[in-house]
Structure 1
């Protein structure tokens, strides 16, 4: 393991082509020995986003725009993005929900850094979903309208 990598040498190993959500990500945390932080280089084509508008309850994220122009949707606000902008996305509720969209004419590239929690809960305010993930591989995405009460199905 070598704790250094040049972003020009990373391999894009997470490629998504799903309409508006089209991106390429190079996930290189393990390659450089990271244990509690996740690192990736993301490329977005014009008009695309890497993921839906969401907020985290366990993992904090930071983004550094390297190339291109975009827009950060953050809570109820929108902010223009350009190279060398640093974005902080703390944990919390819909007031810190976020999404980066490439609003430029060329590829947008940014470095993403996040804490890695053993269990994560994300909310998706636009679609009324909740997503859960664990480092052991358990995962699920649910619509909040389908959630049951705490004692539903239990003998009381």
Structure 2
């Protein structure tokens, strides 16, 4: 296989992993970026069965995402709005807070397939408005909490606040 062949994959020939969580979430998906040698660009292919979503409603503080609907139709939740989506639609989800939170839901009676393309950042913060969670992701760190569990900067530090508090 030449270098050029290692940079090309056909969606129909990918091996998808089945993921499910409870009644609401299910998909068959694969991360394509690593298969193609991508370094700074993430790409995944998701096939979502009728009545399901592949992930919770969320926003990103570091990574920008774009979706391309390959086949089927569904619903896009974006910030406080909802709209129908269909094959051929391209969706941009820039970084931000709850106003850029997004989720793709298959509310149809056929499979919904889409590509997720994103920038890859070494550190990511995600917010989940429906469940009031905040997540921090980095190499070797996956931490999810709620704002109500927030600690003060000096909490647990020996000696407590000092002359450089807040520095």
> Shorter chain as normaliser: what TM range?
over 0.9
Name which of 135, 139, 142 aligns with 2:142. 139
Q: Distance in 2 between matches of 1:106 and 1:143?
A: 35
Larger radius of gyration: 2
Q: Report the TM-score when normalising by structure 2.
A: 0.88
| Structure 1 match to 2:154 | 151
Q: Distance in 1 between matches of 2:29 and 2:91?
A: 18
Gaps of 5+ in 1: none
Name which of 20, 23, 33 aligns with 1:17. 20
Q: Distance in 1 between matches of 2:71 and 2:38?
A: 24
Q: Distance in 1 between matches of 2:104 and 2:148?
A: 27
Q: Contact 1:46–1:102 at 8 Å: present in 2 too? A: yes
- The one-character-per-residue Cα deviations of 1:12-33 (angstroms, maximum 9, x if unpaired) are 13x3211201111111211111
| Structure 2 match to 1:114 | 118
| Structure 2 match to 1:36 | 40
Q: CA RMSD in A?
A: 1.1
Q: Contact 1:60–1:91 at 8 Å: present in 2 too? A: yes
- The one-character-per-residue Cα deviations of 1:44-65 (angstroms, maximum 9, x if unpaired) are 1111111111100000001000
Gaps of 5+ in 2: 162-167
Q: Distance in 2 between matches of 1:145 and 1:43?
A: 35
Q: Secondary structure at the match of 2:115?
A: strand
Runs of 4+ in structure 1 displaced over 4 angstroms? none
| Structure 1 match to 2:91 | 87
Q: Secondary structure at the match of 1:145?
A: helix
